[in-house]
């Protein structure tokens, strides 16, 4: 069973994403803040991270860059999500994530993107 760490500060969206993923046989660790992310990665050992860029009090872009610089996490596929940034912006900022979902997104589109990366 693939393990997905979902980092999203909108509790309603986090709950829906978690339910959809679990219904599709993924083990999910829901996280509403990026603060403990590296401890959670070490403990949960996700196969993929689905992370919002705009987190409450934190910048998901900075967390993503840190994920990419650490030897223990650099290999992890990361799908960034945001309702405030276009995909063009993500590319201009050199946030070379494995994929990007602009909110609002369809759950079926999310599932297809995750399946391709796992």
* pLDDT at site 95: 63
Show pLDDT as tens, one digit a residue, over the chain (118 residues).
999 999 999 999 999 999 999 999 999 999 999 999 999 999 999 999 999 988 887 888 889 999 999 999 999 999 999 887 666 666 666 667 888 888 999 999 999 999 999 9
Fold of 3-116: Rossmann fold (3.40.50)
Residues 45/47/55/61 CA torsion (nearest 10 deg)? 110
Output the DSSP codes for 47-113: SEEEEESEETTEEHHHHHHHHHHSTTTTTS-EEEEESS--HHHHHHTT---SEEEESS--HHHHHHH
Domain boundaries, the chain: 3-116
* pLDDT at site 82: 85
């Amino acid at each position: 069973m693939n393990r997905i760490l979902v980092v999203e500060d909108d509790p309603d969206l986090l709950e829906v994403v978690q339910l959809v993923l679990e219904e599709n046989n993924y083990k999910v660790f829901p996280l509403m803040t990026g603060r403990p992310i590296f401890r959670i990665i070490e403990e949960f050992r996700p196969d993929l991270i689905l992370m919002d860029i705009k987190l409450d009090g934190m910048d998901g872009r900075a967390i993503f860059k840190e994920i990419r610089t650490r030897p223990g996490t650099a290999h992890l596929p990361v799908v960034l999500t945001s309702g405030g940034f276009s995909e063009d912006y993500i590319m201009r900022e050199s946030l070379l994530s494995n994929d990007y979902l602009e909110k609002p997104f369809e759950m079926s589109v999310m599932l297809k993107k995750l399946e391709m990366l796992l």
